[in-house]
Amino acid sequence: MLRSSEGLHHVRYEIRGRLARRAQELERLGYEIISLNIGNPGLFGFRTPQSLRLAMIENLQHAEGYCHQKGIFPAREAIVMHQQARGVQGVTAEEVFIGNGVSELIDLTLRALLNDGDEVLVPSPDYPLWTAAVKLNRGRAVHYPCRPENGFVPDPEEIARLVTPRTRAVVVINPNNPSGAVYPRPVLEGIARLAESRGLVVFSDEVYDQILYDGAEFIPMATLVHDTLCATLSGLSKVYRACGYRVGWAVFSGRLRAATEYLSALELLTSLRLCSNVPGQWAVQTALGGYQSIQEHIVPGGRLYESRRAILSCIAESRFLRLAPPAGAMYAFIEVDTREFADFDDQRFALDLLEQKHVLVAPGVSFNVPYRTHFRVTNLPDAVVLKRVFTRIEEVLCGYAAAQRESPKGSVVEASRRFR
């Protein structure tokens, strides 16, 4: 028996886990699956802007060798100018690290920081790679609540109560994945002051920074953090619909002089992986300095806006579903009103929905929450597809309710068995 590393025993990434594998099996059997578990724009017909593709093609002759471990200079300089335009001061190209997507940089920035047992404050719900990367790098993820009843916006005072002598960093995901919450300035200021007073590194995941709805305001965390180290993480995947290019960046600002050893360690780690994808880096300057086509999608009549509107409409008409309207990103984190059900379980519901209705969603427990009543969908499909999806969701939940009425002492487990 060839056993896996013990370091992986408590690492989860259910978004691409058991349910996704079952969906692939069903597709191989000939079923058409509507996959709403991953924010992958290309899967739903979104294209990377043509100007980015041309920039890559025109520079292919400069992309055949390794580049500097931090990334090519034109891309890093464009990222600096982008940060300066947003009000972030004191950043040069030396403080910019380009990686194979934000995902790689989450791992590397934590690996350069953590020792055995060090703690990182991570939101709940979170993008689960943050929790997984903390565990992989010998740390302990301490989840601070972003409560549904508060629109998934955290309370800095609650976060402060979780700080211990082992706490090294706090993670902020804004706009949030999976909830779509966009944090107001006072909340971000409260987290910034907490981090500064306790000497915590701030990791600000801002990959959805331009995907905002109905006048929501995005505040760059680096404009608020001054007396401790702040790492801003973003990339081309979502705003520029270029997931496959695998281009992300981490920009360090704030108290840089005190972070010399840490940044040297991070450069060592980036050197060990030689460099990140070079062709994709040539699209960065064009992306950040060119026409921001994402704006077409997030206003009334735009694809993402209308898909979000369809989700809100379906939720309003539903007998069972509730939703704190997402103000940003490309997801909805939906709550099931379980008053009519006994023993409702989000994973069992997701499996029933997949097996019976061929719709793949991500159960809420995948995002490190303590409750089992939510699931996440992406609003990347068009409105017609989403209305069809919510009709199927309602059918499954109506089946649960009917089975419960027929057998009042029963449970959703029995209803689920009846479906199969």
- Which CATH fold topology does 6-46+296-419 show? Aspartate Aminotransferase, domain 1 (3.90.1150)
Average pLDDT over residues 339-357: 92
Output 406 or 292, whichever has higher pLDDT: 292
Question: So what's the pLDDT on residue 168?
Answer: 98
Q: How does residue 408 score in pLDDT terms, banded at 50, 70 and 90?
A: low
Residues in contact with 81: Cβ distance below 8 Å, sequence separation at least 6, in sequence order? 288, 289
Domain boundaries, the chain: 6-46+296-419, 50-289
| DSSP string covering 367-379 | G--S-S-EEEEES
Report the 10 Å Cβ neighbour count for 68.
14
Residue 49 has pLDDT above 70, yes or no: yes
Residue 220 has pLDDT above 90, yes or no: yes
Question: So what's the pLDDT on residue 65?
Answer: 95
Give me the torsion for CA of 315, 316, 321, 324, rounded to 10°: 80
Q: How does residue 339 score in pLDDT terms, banded at 50, 70 and 90?
A: confident
Which CATH number applies to 50-289: 3.40.50.170, 3.40.640.10, 3.40.50.2000, 3.50.50.60?
3.40.640.10
The per-residue pLDDT for range 86-141, each reduced to its tens digit, is: 999 899 999 999 999 999 999 999 999 999 999 999 999 999 999 999 999 999 99
Q: ∠ at Cα 130 (138, 224), nearest 5°?
A: 110
Handedness of CA 75, 77, 83, 86 (dihedral sign): negative
Helix count and strand count (H, E) for the chain:
14, 13
Residue 60 has pLDDT above 80, yes or no: yes
pTM comes to 0.94
> Omega into 220 within 30° of 0, i.e. cis?
no
